[in-house]
Amino acid sequence: MQVRWIPEQGAFANSYIFGTVLVDAGLFPMAIHPFKDDIDTIILTHCHFDHTAHVKEIAHMCTAKIAIHRDDAGGLIDDGKSLSMHFGARSPGIVPDIVLADGDRIGDLMIIHTPGHTPGSICLYSEPDKALISGDTVFTDGAFGRYDFPGGSRQALAASLDRLAPLDVEGLYPGHGEPVDCGGKRHIAAARQLMKGGYG
């Protein structure tokens, strides 16, 4: 199945559409509006404001359910956890419809809990498509997400990269930067090596 990339705007993260799922909702609703009739679920890769800023409005526009990992659900109402104050804003102030756990599935996407950037960070993996939507866990330039925000952990992020490394990944679709449609596994390996080399 095709992963449709909706590029980041300014400080706000990439969004992706996979089937009837929208991944992340920091962008203005007008960027999502052309696809509103196709979306029934919004999965948030983590609770940071650049990924969640407009989730309430987009969910209403699409009549969609909101899903986030249980360890980050509190960030939808907590300004500190969401980092919303860095954007001169408030957290979305909502409770999710679906609380996710490792191994859950929504459509053809499997939830992989990858803490480190935040306690409830997740990646979404489609094994048949060899596609990984990675949020801020790993990027296509061979880097990884920051772990110096509240709830972040270098040790947890290193373990998450170790967990992703064996996956058969061609398409890698990160929260920031440009995605790639092939060779994603190499980018994960590079990030893992960077982490093991003591970067950061």
Q: Are strands 21-23 and 15-18 parallel, antiparallel or unpaired?
A: antiparallel
Helices (H) then strands (E): counts for the chain = 6, 11
Model pLDDT for residues 67-83, shown as the tens digit of each residue? 999 999 999 999 999 99
Sign for the CA dihedral angle at 122, 143, 5, 61 comes to positive
* CATH code, domain carrying 153: 3.60.15.10
What was the pLDDT predicted at 67?
98
φ, ψ at 162 (rounded to 5°): -60, -40
Q: How far is CA 121 from CA 26, 29, 35, 127, 185, in A?
A: 15, 23, 25, 19, 19
User: Is pLDDT at 197 greater than 90 in this prediction?
Assistant: no
Starting at the earlier edge strand, list the strands of the sheet with 21-23.
3-6, 15-18, 21-23, 41-43, 65-69, 98-100
pLDDT at 200: 58
What is the per-residue pLDDT across 96-107, written as a single tens digit (0 to 9) for each? 999 999 999 999
Residues 138-173 pLDDT 10s: 999 899 999 999 999 999 999 999 999 999 999 999
* Domain interval for residue 108: 3-196
The whole-angstrom separation of Cα 189 and Cα 192 is 5
Residue with tokens 């191994």: 103
Q: What is the mean pLDDT of the chain?
A: 96
Q: What confidence score (pLDDT) does residue 118 get?
A: 98
Domain count, the chain: 1
Q: Is 123 helix (H, G, I), strand (E, B) or coil?
A: strand
> Taking a C-beta distance cutoff of 8 angstroms, is the pair 100, 67 a contact?
yes
pLDDT for the residue numbered 10: 86
Bigger pLDDT: 87 or 186?
Answer: 186
